Amino acid sequence: MDALLVDLDDTLLDYSGGVDEHWTAAVHACCPEDGAVDPQRLATVLGEARRWFWSDPERHRRERVNMLGAWTHIVEIGLQRLGVAPDGVAPAIAREFWVRRREAMRLFPDTTASLAALRRRGVRLALVTNGDAGQQRDKIERHDLARFFDAIVIEGEFGAGKPEAIVYRHALAALGASPGEAWMAGDHLEFDVGAPQRLGLRGVWVDRTGQGLPGDSTVLPHRIVRSFGELVAALD
Contacts of residue 126, defined as CB under 8 A and 6 or more positions apart, other chains included, come to 3, 4, 5, 6, 149, 150, 151, 152, 153, 171, 172, 174, 175
Sole binder of Mg ion in the list 1, 2, 10, 61 (CB under 5 A): 10
Task: Give the shortest CB-234-to-Mg ion separation in angstroms.
Answer: 20
Helix, strand, coil percentages for the chain (3-state, nearest 5): 55, 15, 35
Task: Give the shortest CB-8-to-Mg ion separation in angstroms.
Answer: 7
Task: Please say which residue, 132 or 187, places its beta carbon nearer to Mg ion.
Answer: 187
Our finding on whether 63 is near Mg ion (CB under 5 A) is: no
* 91 neighbors 72 (Cβ within 8 angstroms): yes
Task: Please say which residue, 4 or 89, places its beta carbon nearer to Mg ion.
Answer: 4
Task: Please say which residue, 77 or 231, places its beta carbon nearer to Mg ion.
Answer: 231
Task: Give the shortest CB-83-to-Mg ion separation in angstroms.
Answer: 35
In terms of C-beta distances under 8 Å and separation of at least 24 residues, what long-range contacts does 214-223 make, across chains too? 214/189, 217/189, 218/194, 219/189, 219/190, 219/193, 219/194, 221/189, 221/193, 221/197, 222/183, 222/197
The rounded distance, in Å, linking the Cα atoms of 8 and 33 is 37
Q: How many residues bind Mg ion (CB under 5 A)?
A: 4
Sole binder of Mg ion in the list 3, 5, 7, 49 (CB under 5 A): 7
Our finding on whether 9 is near Mg ion (CB under 5 A) is: yes
Task: Please say which residue, 27 or 71, places its beta carbon nearer to Mg ion.
Answer: 71
Task: Give the shortest CB-125-to-Mg ion separation in angstroms.
Answer: 16
The rounded distance, in Å, linking the Cα atoms of 45 and 121 is 48
What would the x/- binding string for Mg ion be over residues 167 to 196, using CB under 5 A? --------------------x---------
| Sole window of 5-13, 61-69, 74-82, 173-181 interacting with Mg ion (rule: CB under 5 A) | 5-13
Task: Give the shortest CB-59-to-Mg ion separation in angstroms.
Answer: 18
Task: Give the shortest CB-143-to-Mg ion separation in angstroms.
Answer: 15
Mapped onto helix, strand or coil, the DSSP state of residue 120 is: helix
Comparing CA positions, the residue from 183, 210, 230, 62 lying closest to residue 132 is 62
Task: Please say which residue, 74 or 206, places its beta carbon nearer to Mg ion.
Answer: 206
Q: Which residues bind Mg ion (CB under 5 A)?
A: 7, 9-10, 187
